[in-house]
């Protein structure tokens, strides 16, 4: 299966500070989750892939077009990319429909009738079909977030890049977004702090830390890294990475040496992520 997008030894520096170390990976169809702490390089990686940011070195190919090669290739790639940044500053006084109409013009939807129909379609996808005529200033935070996602969906892109799309959404809206993303035909790359989104939605997980990919595999493979290392007992385990008292009064310990009266429990994606973070893995980075 050919890759929709690929990084070949891509790195990015801001001044002298490395934001992303030389990284190689291929993205195929499906939903890929990008996990990592703040400042790990998630947003840099997404911006590089979206072509909003040029790399310091390396080669990025999207849908067969080398975005680092020529402007013409970059424009071709952009016709196939939908990108929703982490934070969107909306124009004051614009309606939801007018905002999407404007972005659709920038995405080369020149026929007014088809463009307006497309705007209606993406508004419906994010359940804002009845809010098109409403000023953005009057929309709630969750509705604005969905509007930002809607603009990325214009034109049904082959590669959809979403930077923390579920921030500000309530559980029902998050579930609805999961349903939408899981039904898309192309490649979806989402960065998130919500580990439950990853376990519920993603075919593949990338864990990035300090500008390097620390894990690349399926959710099952990620969970396997924490198997037998999460315990529940009356007291915290010695040397645990994280411990907290659960609602039952028992203490859940991630990592460490288990106490004799504690029992092993199934790890969550969050447990596996915390354990990964606590260790210094050799970067994997390459996915064939």
Partner 1 sequence: MTWHIDAPVWEAYAEGRLEPAAELSVESHLVGCPECRSAARSQVPARTADAVWSDVRLTISAPSPSLPQRAMQRLGVAPDDAVVISAADAFLVPWAVAVGFAVVSACVVGLAGLGPASRDAAFLALAPLVPVLAVVTSYDALDPLRELMAPTPYSKLRLALLRAAAALAVAVPATMMIGLVVPHMDDLALAWLAPALGLTLAALVLLTWLEAWVTAVLVASAWVTVVALLRVGDRVDALTTPLGQVAFVVAAGGLVLALVLRTSTLRLQGGEL
Among 110, 220, 246, 248, binds partner 1 (CB under 8 A): 110
- Site for partner 1 contains 151 (CB under 8 A): yes
Q: Select the residue interacting with partner 1 from 105, 227, 264, 286 (CB under 8 A).
A: 105
Q: Which of 117, 224, 227, 264 binds partner 1 (CB under 8 A)?
A: 117
Tell whether the torsion through CA atoms of 271, 275, 281 and 283 is positive or negative. positive
Q: Which stretch binds partner 1 (CB under 8 A): 113-121, 183-191, 229-237, 253-261?
A: 113-121
Which among 223, 226, 224 is positioned nearest to 198, based on CA atoms? Answer: 223
The verdict on 83 binding partner 1 (CB under 8 A) reads yes
Cβ nearer to partner 1, comparing 96 with 223: 96
Nearer to partner 1, 81 or 139 (CB): 81
Rounded Cα distance, 202 and 185, in Å:
14
Angstrom distance (rounded) from CA 18 to CA 281? 19
* 91 is a contact residue toward partner 1 (CB under 8 A): yes
Within a 13 Å sphere around the CA of 257, how many CA atoms are in the beta-carbon half?
A: 3
- Evaluate whether 198 touches 268 at the Cβ level (below 8 Å): no
Strands of the chain, DSSP E:
5-14, 17-27, 30-35, 57-62, 65-66, 81-84, 159-163, 187-191, 204-209, 212-217, 230-233, 242-245, 251-254, 263-264
Main-chain phi, psi angles of 155, to 5 degrees: 85, 5
Decide whether 66 or 203 has the Cβ nearer to partner 1: 66
**From the CB of 192, what's the least distance to partner 1, in Å?**
18
Q: Of 129-148, which residues contact partner 1 (CB under 8 A)?
A: 129, 132-133
Using CB under 8 A as the criterion, which residues of the chain lie in contact with partner 1 when the complex forms?
50-52, 54-55, 67-68, 70-71, 74-76, 78-79, 81, 83, 85, 88-95, 97-98, 101-103, 105-108, 110, 112, 116-117, 119-120, 123, 129, 132-133, 151
């Amino acid at each position: 299966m050919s890759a929709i997008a690929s990084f070949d030894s891509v790195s990015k520096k801001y001044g002298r500070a490395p934001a992303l170390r030389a990284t190689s990976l291929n993205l195929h169809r499906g939903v890929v989750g990008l996990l990592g702490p703040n400042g790990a390089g998630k947003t840099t990686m997404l911006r590089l892939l979206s072509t909003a940011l040029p790399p310091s070195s390396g080669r990025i190919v999207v849908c067969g077009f080398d975005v680092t090669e020529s402007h013409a290739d970059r424009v071709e790639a952009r016709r196939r990319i939908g990108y929703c940044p982490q934070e969107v500053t909306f124009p004051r006084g614009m309606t939801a429909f007018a905002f999407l109409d404007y972005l659709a013009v920038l995405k080369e939807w020149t026929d007014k009738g088809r463009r307006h129909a497309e705007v209606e379609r993406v508004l419906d996808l994010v359940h804002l079909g009845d809010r098109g005529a409403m000023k953005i200033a009057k929309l709630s935070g969750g509705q604005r977030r969905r509007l930002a996602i809607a603009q990325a969906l214009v034109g049904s892109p082959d590669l959809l890049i979403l930077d923390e799309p579920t921030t500000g959404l309530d559980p029902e809206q998050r579930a609805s977004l999961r349903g939408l993303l899981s039904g898309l035909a192309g490649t979806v790359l989402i960065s998130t702090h919500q580990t439950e989104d990853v376990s519920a939605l993603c075919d593949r997980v990338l864990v990035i830390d300090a500008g390097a990919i620390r894990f690349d595999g399926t959710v099952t493979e990620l969970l396997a890294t924490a198997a037998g290392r999460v315990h529940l007992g009356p007291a915290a385990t010695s040397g645990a990475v994280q411990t907290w008292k659960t609602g039952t009064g028992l203490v859940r310990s991630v990592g460490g040496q288990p106490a004799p009266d504690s029992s092993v429990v199934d790890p969550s994606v969050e447990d596996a992520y915390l354990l990964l973070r606590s260790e210094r893995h050799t970067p994997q980075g390459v996915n064939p």
